[in-house]
């Protein structure tokens, strides 16, 4: 193992600049002892797949059977809501920032309706000059915009807020209700301008066509700013579990407000106080009062590798990587600690810092075989810094479940096992 690596923080965090300066041979020799020179490989043979043609083209692509273990984690049905539940994205197996459509997280309140787009209608009514009704084919004729944004359930990571015993889990099971995609659709302001918003309107009530008639109230100022009626996700029509044939998409705000299977937009003077904005999706405080309409998602990051239930099999250099995001802007900085927050080093931000999108970060780390606590801390373009779990509890208590964006701690044991801890 190399001993002259430039350390930038305690417990083995290494300067990425210095590591790159080692060159290909030096980096290879340092990062793993498993890499062998080509002439040292015994009996190098041409594999069978290089000797005969494979299958031809197909109508719809499939992934390699060797990657079939990368799946969403589907939760069981909620007995209070037939057809309810969630499926979590496998964050620890993904790279980059765009989530494949088949692995994007799901959250349902009454299952997935089987909608025939030819029979589906979007109605805009209430405090408008002229009520309008749109067929799916009508909306396809409108000018569209494409934007890359994350989507996060406000209950994501909520298991880390309650209790004194840290839940054992993976990045997927604890944080997998966040994903990122390119969304394409019609700015809601275009449709509202066509309907003619009356001066007394202040809110837009969005309702879905699922059996729960899921509804949420959106402030008119936000609706006219950057909200869209999304018809496409990563270039293809939104999938049924994501709201086919159309969904509301509200950038940076809690996922529940981006109503799927959108069928009505009613302009009102006040919020409609739907079930999902009164009995649910509120933040209960220690005095039993609840904060309502806490829409934006906080500045947040999570290390996806090494992460919970993984194991480091040998001493050496590992790449710490993860994702960061904020509902208040773009990610400007991510710091990483390997000693439980006593010292920090700046990680490299891989991807462009897009407003309200996932950002991938990385930093090399030399594990010497001892214990370590890995943490990440994000800062966004509005100056928000990701808080500690303790700071959130001191401010809001532990009665709530939503909007937890505290620093995640992964403990690495002497034997290399990684688990979630409260640090």
d(CA 190, CA 82): 36
Q: Which fold has domain 300-421?
A: Immunoglobulin-like (2.60.40)
Q: Sign of dihedral through CA atoms 269, 275, 278, 283?
A: negative
Name the band, by pLDDT with cuts 50, 70 and 90, for residue 216.
very high
Average pLDDT over every residue of 321-343: 98
Domain 300-421 in the same topology as domain 108-291 = no
109, pLDDT greater than 70: yes
Q: What percent of the chain is modeled with pLDDT above 70?
A: 92
What is the C-alpha separation between 353 and 359, in angstroms, rounded? Answer: 6
The helix (H) or strand (E) run that includes residue 409 is: strand 409-412
17-75 tens-digit pLDDT:
655 654 443 333 344 445 556 666 667 788 899 999 999 999 999 999 999 999 999 98
| Beta-strand runs (E) in 26-173 | 73-74, 85-88, 106-108, 121-126, 132-135, 145-152
Report yes or no: 421 and 307 within 8 Å, Cβ to Cβ.
no
Backbone angles phi, psi at 30, to 5 degrees: -85, -40
CA distance 272 to 64: 47
Residue 79 pLDDT: 61
Beta strands in 234-371 (DSSP E): 236-237, 247-249, 262-268, 283-284, 290-291, 300-305, 316-325, 331-337, 345-346, 348-349, 359-367
Which stretches of 16-159 are DSSP H helices?
A: 16-20, 23-31, 136-139
Bridge partners of residue 203, in order along the sequence: 219, 268
* Measured distance CA(59)–CA(54) in Å, rounded: 16
Report the C-alpha gap between 120 and 207 in whole angstroms. 13
pLDDT, tens digit (0-9, with 9 covering 90-100), for 232-255: 999 999 999 999 999 999 999 999
Question: Do strands 121-126 and 132-135 pair parallel, antiparallel, or not at all (unpaired)?
Answer: antiparallel
CA dist., res. 404 & res. 254, Å (int): 11
pLDDT in the model for residue 352: 85
Task: Give me the chain's average pLDDT, please.
Answer: 92
The predicted model gives 70-98 an average pLDDT of: 88
Q: For residue 33, what pLDDT is reported?
A: 47
Q: Tell me the average pLDDT across 150-155.
A: 97
Q: What is the mean pLDDT of residues 150-172?
A: 94
Calpha distance 291→254 (Å, rounded)? 14
CATH topology of domain 108-291: Sulfite Oxidase; Chain A, domain 2 (3.90.420)
For the chain, domain boundaries: 108-291, 300-421
How much is the pLDDT for 44?
77
- State whether the Cα torsion 265-267-271-273 is positive or negative: negative
Is the pLDDT higher at 10 or at 413?
A: 413
Work out the burial of residue 132: count CB atoms within 10 Å of its CB; fewer than 13 is exposed, 13-18 middle, 19 or more buried.
middle
């Amino acid at each position: 193992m190399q001993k002259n690596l430039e350390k930038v923080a305690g417990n083995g965090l290494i300067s990425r600049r210095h590591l790159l300066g080692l060159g290909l041979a030096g980096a290879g020799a340092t990062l793993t002892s498993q890499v062998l020179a080509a002439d040292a490989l015994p009996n190098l043979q041409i594999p069978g797949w290089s000797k005969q043609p494979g299958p031809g083209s197909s109508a719809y692509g499939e992934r390699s059977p060797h990657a079939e273990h990368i799946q969403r984690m589907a939760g069981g049905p909620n007995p209070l809501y037939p057809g309810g539940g969630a499926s979590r994205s496998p964050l620890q197996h993904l790279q980059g920032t765009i989530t494949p459509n088949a692995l994007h997280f799901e959250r349902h309140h009454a299952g997935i309706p089987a909608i025939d787009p030819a029979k589906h209608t979007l109605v805009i009514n209430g405090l408008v000059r002229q009520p309008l009704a749109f067929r799916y084919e009508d909306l396809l004729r409108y000018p569209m915009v494409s934007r890359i944004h994350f989507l996060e359930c406000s209950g994501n990571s909520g298991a880390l807020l309650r209790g004194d015993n840290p839940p054992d889990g993976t990045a997927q099971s604890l944080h997998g209700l966040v994903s990122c995609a390119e969304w394409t659709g019609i700015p809601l302001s275009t449709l509202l301008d066509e309907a003619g918003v009356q001066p007394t309107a202040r809110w837009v009530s969005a309702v879905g066509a699922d059996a729960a008639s899921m509804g949420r109230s959106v402030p008119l100022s936000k609706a006219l700013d950057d909200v869209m009626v999304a018809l496409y996700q990563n270039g293809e029509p939104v999938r049924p579990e994501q709201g086919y044939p159309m969904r509301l998409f509200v950038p940076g705000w809690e996922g529940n407000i981006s109503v799927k299977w959108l069928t009505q937009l009613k302009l009102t003077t006040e919020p409609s106080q739907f079930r999902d904005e009164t009995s649910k999706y509120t933040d209960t405080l220690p005095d039993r009062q609840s904060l309502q309409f806490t829409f934006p998602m906080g500045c947040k990051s999570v290390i996806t590798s090494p992460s919970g239930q993984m194991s480091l099999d040998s001493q050496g250099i590992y790449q710490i990587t993860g994702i960061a995001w904020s509902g208040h802007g773009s990610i400007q900085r991510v710091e990483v600690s390997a000693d439980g927050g006593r010292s920090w080093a700046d990680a490299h931000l891989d991807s462009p810092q897009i407003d309200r999108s996932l950002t991938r970060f990385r930093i090399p780390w030399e594990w010497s075989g001892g214990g370590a606590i890995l943490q990440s801390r994000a800062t966004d373009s509005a100056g928000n810094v990701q808080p500690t779990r303790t700071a959130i509890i001191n401010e809001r208590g532990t009665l709530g479940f939503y909007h937890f964006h505290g620093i995640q701690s992964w403990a690495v044991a002497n034997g290399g096992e990684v688990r979630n801890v409260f640090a």
